[in-house]
Amino acid sequence: MASGPSRRGFIAAATGMAAATILPINAQAGSRVPGSDASAWRLFGRDGFRVPNGVEQHAAWQDVMRRARLAGSPAWRSLVSNVRRRGGSDVFHLVSAANAVLNRLPYRADEARYRAGDRWLDPDTFVTFGGDCEDFAIAKYFMLRNLRVPADSLRVVTGFDSEGVRGHALAVARVDDRLLVLDNRYRWPRLEAEFPNFRPRLSFNESGLWLYR
């Protein structure tokens, strides 16, 4: 059985990124996604606007996707196997295990390690050196994709925390019609209501990118 809270218990109880990296696309290209569109997620109280060809315009995401497809170091494979053992075939438990296992890796700010602005790491590099918030979010996304969670059920979300002062990134998973937030600051997934000061700017997966205003 997977470690961590049960799905029922969790739901019952719950009822550092630069602006250039957050928005490297044409913000004027967005179009409102109809409410009937299953891909339109309302995140943290805000509606999204699909950006046509948004994934293709996001150079950092394109680069990390390319490198992530090649990820397969022994350290990464070991973590994938660990999460699979903990989560089994249950998506909620897989999401919980991915968050708990990857949050054990060290937080390392890009400025301290690379003496530069944001650098997005592929899973192999992240498990070797650690990383900052977007690296945790990216690793969780690809961890769950490795475990056959559909891309349509996952997003990487970038935005601002603490009244718009500090950049932050999260992963979000849709499980049983609930959006679970995977944050490197908390061991277990949480619901959106627990992040009243987070303002999303972009969300994306392999097939789409959405802008939030």
The confidence score (pLDDT) of residue 38 equals 52
- pLDDT of 43 above 50: yes
The confidence score (pLDDT) of residue 32 equals 46
- Give dist(CA 58, CA 23) in Å, integer: 8
Q: Provide DSSP, 73-111.
A: -HHHHHHHHHHHHHHTT-HHHHHHHHHHHHTTSPB--HH
13 pLDDT band, cuts 50/70/90, is very low
What structural domains does the chain harbor? 7-212 (3.10.620.30)
- Please answer whether residues 132 and 120 qualify as being in contact, where contact means their C-beta atoms are separated by less than 8 angstroms: no
70 pLDDT band, cuts 50/70/90, is confident
**Minimum mean pLDDT range among 43-47, 123-127, 164-168:** 164-168
Q: Among residues of the chain, what percentage have pLDDT more than 90?
A: 68
The confidence score (pLDDT) of residue 165 equals 58
For the entire predicted model, the pTM comes to: 0.83
The confidence score (pLDDT) of residue 113 equals 62
136 pLDDT band, cuts 50/70/90, is very high
**Beta carbons within 8 Å of 206's beta carbon, 6+ residues apart:** 55, 65, 145, 151
Pick the more confident residue, 25 or 128. 128
Mean pLDDT of 44-61: 93
